[in-house]
Structure 1
Amino acid sequence: MIPTVVISNNINNVNSNCFKTIFINGITICYNAQFEKEYYIFENSDYQLFAHVNIGFKNTLSQFTNDNFSKKDIEELQKKMKWGFIIIISKNSGSFSIHNDIYGIYPIYYSNAGKDFIFSNDCDYLIRIQNSKKIDIRGVYDFILFNYTLNNRTIFKNISQLKGGSVINSNPNPSSISITKINDIAELLNQKERHKLDIDNLNLALISCLTDDIDSKLPIELTLSGGFDSKVILSLLLNQKLDFASFTYGLNGSVDYIAAQSTAKQFSIPHRLVELKSFSLDEMDDQIKSFIKCTPCLPLLTDLLSYELIKSNIPKSNILTGFMGGELINGPVVVSEVMLTRSAKTLINANDISILKTNLIFDLQSNPFISSKNYTSNAEYHIEGLGNYLNDSKDSNHKNLINFLLNETYAKFFGVVFKNLYGNYNMINPFLDINFLSQLLNSEYRFTQFTSFSKNPLSHFQSRRLYPKMIKRLHEPVIYSPLDRNYVMADLLYLHRLPITLTRYFENHFFNKNKIHPSKALGSINRLKPLIREKLFNSPILEFEFIEKEKVKEVIGKLNSDIPVSDHNLRKLILLLGLHYLYEMYNINY
């Protein structure tokens, strides 16, 4: 269930029978009463404040609010919010302001027509009250090229998403609103002088983030994998002597699960596998609809649908994750089909809008199911507003890259996970602490001094060595626990062990010695093949002019005949499957 909050100046927009209601000077705040303890509600003689924020920030607010607090104070505090939003309503003037976290991970969607406006964290609710459910072709092209919509775009024409670090202000007697981005995260992190990194202080920032945000009433679950990032979170928990269990989601027999299982055994940690498995068509259909109901503007089914399994396998708890740690410590190393696509690289590296247009047209040609002719005619319209991510050759701090990683990849990709789980779990990601990031990105370990998307294993060697240096100070035995790549972190830390790391790197990348056994290869892509056959072949969305209908049917025909289809093409079909479900659930039109 979603902890729905709706804010509007038109009471007719809100079914107040389903919510508890606060009504002040023409502004209505309705919220799901089941989650009342998770909200922070405060008022004095001048202001009404309502917030849904991470636990650490909620405690900060409770200590901070008094008869003298102001909107300016909240704008300063906004920088420290891990996730969430705050609304302040003036009792005297009736004006209000809404502030969200600097990343934009907490979902705030809005729609306004004339003098009426409505904001909500529940996009499904907003969609269902719209008279027209037309898709925004710019959002669709974002989705096809990047796997998530960019800036304030969504898949829907009349619905926008609030950018991270923004404030919405109303005029007195609110009939109009203005939206301003007041906190640019790359600017916040940038310091004029570089400094030598103090690893103990860096670890303290992570520890503070972890301990401040834990809900003491809930158990702790660690998402344990064979990767670097989860080893850091494991070390933090062991350092603080906290009781916790762990889980790995994926495939039984995968190198990731084997490494995690061995690590859990080494430190006597309870561990379970949340396993991908075969489901009936009806079961998968229900899972997808539940997933999309939480995140209808970002229906990336291929890799994130697995998180639906957490709801049925993991009890309500604090869930600790190291998501995005690698991208922030090492920088974006390789182009992927998921988080940082070739088009993301194209956008970040382009230094001119005309070059961006040319290269995105070229990128789209790798998708056989989307009309190149249609995109070419819409390309200028699509790239409007993307200039904030162009590369400035004079900017040695690469602010465009940092903003893209944190406001797009983190907020939009991991945001899907957050939005699906935040009603049932307390999600904690210590790597996204502003103090940690500020120390890291202004030190000799900052990834911005290297070439992004470089496959050279030596280009990010110094950054990778930061992991074992941090872990050695936190809980040294962890550097000897197995990774998913047949070496341990100690091999990076000590020079005499470096040949082991290099040997394993070449074995894994060039001789396929670290691959899952074919009999275990039942991933999200294969799970969705039956639904592609069932739903997509005769889907009404194939009539949309930007889709190459006959090419889609040709490739689905190969699936029906058990003719091999590349993973790349399957992923592109699954993007279209997401659009099909939007049509089925909301009757979208083009």
Structure 2
Amino acid sequence: MAKLTFHLTSIKDDDFFKKCKGIFSLYRGDTYHEFVDNRYQAFVKLDSRVNDGLINESDDILFLEIGINYSDSGIEEKISACMVGAEQKLRKSLDGEVCQIIYSKVSNHITIVTDAYGLLPLYYYKSSDEVIISTDLKGVLGIKPELRSSINRQSVSEYLTLHSIMNNHTLFDNVFLIPEGTIIQFSLDDLATWNEKEWYSLPKSYEERSLEDWYRIVYRELTKAVKKRERPGIGTLLSGGMDSRTILAVISPDIRSTMKALTFGVDGSDDLRLAGRVAKRFGVKWNPIILNHDDALKDALKHMWLSDGASNHMVSSILRAVEQFGVDSLFDGTPGDAN
């Protein structure tokens, strides 16, 4: 039987793993790194919907959910959606920054499901007789130290030039990111049964929609996403571009009137000039933050390691600004929010 090891930074107790009677092992090394753990603690502080390991057990099934799930589906409904893999059911039961893991005691079978946009990262290493699953890249490296010597130079190049790593590759060879909207199923008795498939896709009917329909869809979905996240004390990144100014326009006026907008840019840049005009137009308190190229490069190299290459290198500067300006969390114009 294959060995399966989990390293989950957000799980603070071992109940789930104790119930597995030795089938799983839980790694507790020193690889908890400040960026991920602080980010998770910020979620716990700001949002009561964070699951610090939602655990449910029946005679056959162990179910674990990690992250923020806005779905009102019950446990049984979530388990059914994962096991069946039906897209419509998963759309309803997986709504947020969340992943779910199911272990069938009878069949010795594992099911892992990621949310539609991959907002909660899951990394894995797989050989012929071992699987490692981790919510951060360093968890895999802590369990399998020999992987540290095999740096993926292409991924490093992509991160420094494009600010992200393409496909499901990581900074290290043989360690991969489980893609967004994915179901992985396999038996611990035979890892050759490993099956990975997408559960989330755009409906074919979308291709037939008119431009006016798309305006309505984008406005509806954007408004819904912003309303779920806005709260007193939240701020926003404001580049002056279309993404950030559109989010600012959707935020409720009462929230907007008390919020702070942060803009990062080189002195004299268009970003600073345009963002200042937008902030004045919407009546938000504007806080420009001047960057220089040397500091930006140092931040990029540091953040590439801290964030596992999974987020824009500007986040290091953003986190410092959040503390400096007393903002609880930020809208940042990407699928996830910087906290």
When normalised by structure 1's length, the TM-score is 0.44
Matches within 5 A, 1:161-560: 161-171=177-187, 178-183=194-199, 185=201, 187-188=202-203, 190-191=205-206, 193-195=208-210, 197-198=212-213, 199=215, 202-214=218-230, 216=231, 219-238=233-252, 242=256, 243-277=258-292, 285=298, 287-288=299-300, 290-297=302-309, 304-315=312-323, 317-323=328-334, 425=339
> Which of 111, 119, 124 is the equivalent residue of 2:138?
124
Aligned counterparts of 2:261 and 2:216: Cα–Cα separation in 1:
26
8 A Cα contact 2:85 2:199, kept in partner: no
Deviation at 1:161, TM superposition (A): 2.0
1:66 aligns with 2:80: no
Q: One-letter code of the match for 1:27?
A: F
- 8 Å contact kept, 1:124–1:293: no
Cα deviation for residue 207 of structure 1 reads 1.5
Q: Do the aligned partners of residues 69 and 183 (structure 1) sit closer, same or farther apart at CA in structure 2, a change above 3 Å counting?
A: closer
* Secondary structure of 1:152's aligned partner: coil
Aligned with 1:112 (options 123, 126, 142): 126
8 A Cα contact 2:63 2:79, kept in partner: no
CA-CA distance at 1:296 after TM superposition: 4.1
Q: 1:89 to 1:41 in 2, by over 3 A?
A: same
Moved more, 89-98 or 76-85: 76-85
Aligned counterpart for 1:27 among listed residues 18, 24, 27: 24
Identify which range, 140-149 or 151-160, moves more after superposition.
140-149
How large is the Cα RMSD of the aligned pairs? 4.0
Change beyond 3 A, Cα 1:251–1:137: closer
State the AA in 1 paired with 2:266: L
| Distance in 2 (alpha carbons) for counterparts of 1:157 and 1:107 | 17
Which residue is equivalent to 1:445? none
Structure 1 segment 124-163 matched on structure 2, within 5 A: 124-128=138-142, 129-132=144-147, 133-136=149-152, 139=155, 148-163=164-179
**Residue of structure 1 equivalent to 2:56:** 43
> Which residue identity lines up with residue 293 of structure 1 in the other structure?
W
| 1:110 Cα deviation after fit | 1.0
Greater share of residues in strand: 2
Q: Structure 2: how far apart are the matches of 1:50 and 1:228?
A: 38
Q: Which has the higher contact order (CA 8 A, sep 6+)?
A: 1
Shift in alpha-carbon separation, 1:175–1:19, aligned structure 2, 3 A: farther
Q: Which amino acid aligns with 2:114?
A: N
Q: Give me the whole-angstrom Cα distance separating, in 2, the residues matched to 1:226 and 1:195.
A: 28
Greater gyration radius: 1
Aligned residue identity for 2:133: F
For the Cα contact (< 8 Å) 1:95–1:174, is it kept in 2? Answer: no
Distance 1:245 1:152 in 2: 35
Q: Deviations over 1:362-387 (max 9, x none)?
A: xxxxxxxxxxxxxxxxxxxxxxxxxx
Q: Kindly provide the CA deviation profile for residues 343-395 of structure 1, in whole angstroms up to 9, marking residues without a partner as x.
A: xxxxxxxxxxxxxxxxxxxxxxxxxxxxxxxxxxxxxxxxxxxxxxxxxxxxx
State the alpha-carbon separation in 1 of the partners of residues 290 and 307 from structure 2.
23
More divergent stretch after superposition (156-165 vs 174-183): 174-183
- Of all paired residues, the percent bearing the same amino acid is 18
Classify 1:200/1:115 alpha carbon distance in 2 versus 1 (closer, same or farther; 3 Å). closer
Deviations 1:512-548 (A, max 9, x none): xxxxxxxxxxxxxxxxxxxxxxxxxxxxxxxxxxxxx
In 2: Cα distance, 1:200 partner to 1:160 partner: 36
Structure 1 or 2: larger helix share? Answer: 1
